[in-house]
Amino acid sequence: MHKTASITSLAATLALLGAFPALADGEVNIYSYRQPELIQPLLDAFTKETGIKTNVLFLDKGLVERMTAEGENSPADVILTVDIARLTEAKDGGVTQAVSDETINKDIPANFRDPEGNWFGLTTRGRVVYASKERVKETAITYEELADPKWKGKICMRDGQHSYNIGLIASMIAHHGADYTEKWLTGLKNNLVTKPNGSDRSQAKAIFAGECDLAIANTYYVGVMMTNDKEPEQKDWANSLRVIFPNTADRGTHVNISGMAMAKNAPNKDNALKLMQFLSEGEAQKIYAEQVFEYPVLPGAEPSAIVKGFGTIKPDTLPLTEIAKNRKQASELVDKVGFNEGATE
């Protein structure tokens, strides 16, 4: 869901000069891996409630490198990003600072935040199975079953090294160990109809075209496609499939997060904390979840009507920090089994 780097509102001119305004009362500066249009309704609500102005710099890569280069002079107050890998990358890169706040810790469950307070999850998305409504009768499936030869030549998915897939593979290692996961990954590879390619939306298009019956992809893309008036053909892609939440009968579906962190050298630290508190609370959780078709992490908060239409998700409760520990090994396994070469048997 990323585009090339772009910058919102007043920040456009300032970012072209290389920086946001220096320390200023009543402002908070955000470095974001999330597209501006997805978070703007949230920020508008925050400004309306607090009077604090927001400036956003959108980056599609290099956030940690940029902040490291800026050092103590970095104008960034809050980091908004997707994927546990991006959050741990920011922490490990030394560009965040720990936050211990009762409001945030009350609203965000422990398994969706860094134990040391360096990052916090805001919404989750499931890594699910897209299944053809026409050609797939099954309404329940497990990740493990995707390696069953009965699906040979019927599965499509994007690059095995993409962070979304690495997260899923890392979760398999966390639950089953590396040896099992290597065999599973080999079985899944040999069920692919073609070499991994494209985006999650491309997999939906392939199902619509009859090129494959199953795909592994994120929940929120279905909502994005269902509401895409600019490219209405994507509505047909979405309508050709149903979402199956894997492992509902046992450990639950693998989820990943979008999240936030306070920048290490936040010049507007008080305003940064106010924004982080706001983002963890009910109104913002509702707005954010509806904007991005994801699940709010706030217990009891409801997803959008479109997301509810996918069915009920039972998230895997294994802490994302435990899953993230296996990401390097997951990446190595993708290469070891030649996953991106596609089926070889």
* Distance of alpha carbon 99 from alpha carbon 271, whole angstroms: 13
In three-state form (DSSP H/G/I as H, E/B as E, the rest C), the secondary structure along 163-199 is HHHHHHHHHHHHHHCHHHHHHHHHHHHCCECCCCCCC
Q: Is residue 9 scored above 90 in pLDDT?
A: no
Instruction: Give the contacts of 337 (CB within 8 A, at least 6 positions apart).
Output: 182, 185, 186, 189
**Per-residue pLDDT tens digits for 135-157:** 999 999 999 999 999 999 999 99
What pLDDT score was predicted for residue 2?
Answer: 41
CATH code of residue 271: 3.40.190.10
What residue numbers bound the domain in which 336 lies?
124-253+313-341
Q: How many residues does the chain have?
A: 345
pLDDT confidence of residue 3: 37
What average pLDDT does range 261-280 have in this prediction? Answer: 97
Same domain, 320 and 214: yes
70 in any annotated domain: yes
3-state SS track over the chain: CCCCCCECCCHHHHHHCCCCCCCCCCEEEEEECCCHHHHHHHHHHHHHHHCCEEEEEECCCCHHHHHHHHHHHCCCCEEEEECHHHHHHHHHCCCEECCCCHHHHHHCCHHHECCCCCCEEEEEEEEEEEEECCCCCCCCCCCHHHHCHHHCCCEECCCCCCHHHHHHHHHHHHHHCHHHHHHHHHHHHCCECCCCCCCHHHHHHHHHCCCCCEEEEECHHHHHHHCCCCCCHHHHHHHCEEEECCCCCCCCECEEEEEEEEECCCCCHHHHHHHHHHHHCHHHHHHHHHHHCCEECCCCCCCCHHHHCCCCCCECCCCHHHHHCCHHHHHHHHHHCCHHHCCCC
Q: How confident is the model at residue 20 (pLDDT cuts 50, 70, 90)?
A: very low
Contact 144, 216 (CB under 8 A): no
Residue 34's pLDDT is 85
Q: Do 165 and 36 sit in the same domain of this protein?
A: no
What is the average pLDDT across 27-41? 90
Same domain, 264 and 247: no
- In this predicted structure, which of 32-46, 184-198, 213-227 has the lowest mean pLDDT? 32-46
Mean pLDDT of 183-196: 98
pLDDT in tens, 219-235: 999 999 999 999 999 99
Instruction: Specify the pLDDT at position 25.
Output: 54
Domain shared by 114 and 130, yes or no: no
pLDDT, tens only, 82-105:
888 899 999 999 999 999 999 999
Please check whether residue 307 lies inside any domain of the structure: no
Q: What is the pLDDT of residue 38?
A: 79
Same domain, 157 and 274: no
Is the domain of 59 the same as that of 83?
A: yes
Read off the amino acid at residue 87.
L
Q: Is the pLDDT of residue 64 over 60?
A: yes
Same domain? For 108 and 145 the reply is: no
Same domain, 98 and 186: no
Total-model pTM = 0.85
Does the pLDDT value for residue 167 go beyond 80?
A: yes
What number is the average pLDDT over the span 27-42?
90
Q: Are residues 202 and 272 in the same domain?
A: no
- Give pLDDT, residue 18: 44
Q: Are 249 and 314 in contact (CB under 8 A)?
A: no
Residue 21 has pLDDT above 60, yes or no: no
Average pLDDT, the chain: 91
Q: How many domains does the chain have?
A: 2
The pLDDT confidence band at residue 62, using thresholds 50, 70 and 90, is very high
Query: Quick one: pLDDT band at residue 277, thresholds 50, 70, 90?
Result: very high
The residue that leads in pLDDT, 96 or 324, is 96
